[in-house]
Amino acid sequence: MSLAPRVSVVVVSHDRPAALRLCLTGLRYLDHPEFEVIVAADRTGLEAVAAIGLAQVVKSVHVPARGISAARNAGLAQAAGEVVAFIDDDAVPEPSWLRHLAAPFSDPQVAAAGGYVRGRNGISFQWRGRTVDPTGRHSPVALTGEAPALLAGTPERAIKTEGTNMAFRRDLLAGMGGFDPGYTYFLDETDLNMRLARRGAVTALVPLAQVHHGFAASAWRNSARAPRTLYDIGASTARFLRKFAPEGTREAAAAGLRAEQRRRALQHMLRGTLEPRDVARLMASLERGLAEGATRPLPELPPLPGPASPFRPFPAHPAAPHAVLAGRPWQARALRRRAAEMAADGQRVTLFLFGPTALYHRMRFTPGGWWEQRGGLFGRSLRDGPLIAPQRFSSRLRAECHRLRAVRPVCNEREAPDAPQLHDTRDSL
C-alpha cells in the first residue's frame, strides 16, 4: 500500500442538518490527496447535502431510522477506499486530520487508527489515547511526542478509538461483519475495539489526527449535554457485558454504571440543566435498558460484501496554502469578509482576533469555511496556562501559530506581524 491510501470518509447524521453542513464544509479543506465522502443520513441530512451543492460528489445512503451501528454499516457498504474513516456529523476535522490518520496504514500490521478529539472551546482535549477493559472501563494511555504509537490489544484490554475520529482497513472491517447493529447508541465502536483486541490486532493512536467535536443536541442529549434518556446506554452496556465481561464481573459493572449515571444526572440538576424529577425518570429508563439489553439476541455477524459503487473522489484542494489573518475585534467585519473570499478560493484560513482583555480563547470553524480564534491578548488559550500573560500582539500571534504548527501551519512563526496582515505560508514551515 502507498503512503497515502485512498480513504472513504463516512459521516452518519440524523436530524442535525446544520451540523452536517458544517462537517462537510470542513472536509473540503482536507489535505489528504485522495478520499471520498459517504453520508449515511435521514431525509433532512440528504437534503442538507443537496443544499450545499454536494449531491453529485458525495455518496449518499438514506438511513431513516436512528441507530449508529447500522448507519455506519450502510456507509461501509458504499466505501471503495482501502481505508474507511469515520467522523461524527457534529465534528469538524483539522485540515491535516485525514493525512495523519491514514499514514500509519502504510505499515501492513496496522488494522485501525484513532486520533485525538478537541472539545467545544476548540482548544482543550475531550479525549486522547485510551484503553478499555471488558467491562467498558477506560484508562488513559500516556503517550509522549507527536508520532503515532502502535499498540496491540489483548482479550483483557482493547485500544480505544473514538467514534468521531477513527479509521480501519476496509477489508478487515467488512470481513468482521462491520459494527454490531445491536448497538443503537453507546459502546458501538468500543465493541469493535474489543473484537479487534481479541484478534491481537494493532491499533495506531495518532496524536496529530485531530477533530473538533461539538456535542450537538440529539435524541439522547440536549444542547447542554444533559441526557434525555438513558435507555440505550443501559441496553448497550448490558449487551457489551454479555459479550465481553467475565460473568462474575457483570453485576458490579452494572452497579458502577448506575452510580455513574446517577452522579451525572445530579450534577446536571445542580447546574440547572435537569429538573429534580428528571433524575428518577432517567434512572428508570436506564433500568429498562439494562433489562432489555440482557435479553437482546447476540447473533454472529456475517461478513459484509465488497463496495457497492466505485471510488468517487471528493473535490478538495490538498496543495492549497495555509494562511492567517489577524487583527483586533473592531476589525472583525473586514477581516471576516477577506477570510470568506480566501476560503471560497480553496485556501485554508485561520483568523485570529485578539482584544485588549484577559478573556479565555475559543477556536471555531465557521460556516464560511475559515477557522476563527477569539480571546484576550493577555488571556489563556491552553487552560493550564497563566491566567494573565502580558505580551505584545506579535508575540501572542507567534505563540498561537506555534501551538497550531503541527496540525495547521498557519503562519511563519519567525515573522509574526505587529499589525494585522495576511501571511501566505505554503513554503514557510
User: pLDDT (tens digit, 9 = 90+) per residue, 15-47?
Assistant: 999 999 999 999 999 999 999 999 999 999 999
List, for residues 243-268, the tens digit of each pLDDT value. 999 999 999 999 999 999 999 999 99
Predicted pLDDT of residue 19 = 95
Cell of 348: 485554508
Pairing of strands 202-213, 110-118: parallel
Q: Would you place residue 415 in the very low, low, confident or very high pLDDT band (cuts 50, 70, 90)?
A: very low
Q: What is the mean pLDDT of residues 188-205?
A: 97
* Widest pairwise Cα distance in the chain: 66
Statement: residue 121 has pLDDT above 90: yes
Q: Would you place residue 136 in the very low, low, confident or very high pLDDT band (cuts 50, 70, 90)?
A: very high
What percent of the chain has pLDDT above 90? 85
Instruction: For the beta carbon of residue 53, count every other beta carbon within 10 angstroms.
Output: 9
Instruction: For the beta carbon of residue 252, count every other beta carbon within 10 angstroms.
Output: 11
- Determine the Cα–Cα distance for residues 112 and 413; give it in Å rounded to an integer: 34
Of 164, 169, 233, residue with least CA distance to 201: 169
Instruction: For the beta carbon of residue 259, count every other beta carbon within 10 angstroms.
Output: 10
CATH class, domain 7-213, is alpha beta
- Determine the Cα–Cα distance for residues 222 and 204; give it in Å rounded to an integer: 33
Q: Where are the alpha helices (DSSP H) in 131-246?
A: 170-175, 188-197, 231-244
Q: Would you place residue 412 in the very low, low, confident or very high pLDDT band (cuts 50, 70, 90)?
A: low
Q: Where in the chain is the domain with CATH 3.90.550.10?
A: 7-213
Rg (CA), the chain: 22
Cell of 47: 437534503
Q: Identify the three-state secondary structure at position 378.
A: coil
Statement: residue 320 has pLDDT above 70: yes
More confident residue, 381 or 215: 381
- Determine the Cα–Cα distance for residues 422 and 349; give it in Å rounded to an integer: 10
Q: Would you place residue 3 in the very low, low, confident or very high pLDDT band (cuts 50, 70, 90)?
A: low
Cell of 141: 494511555
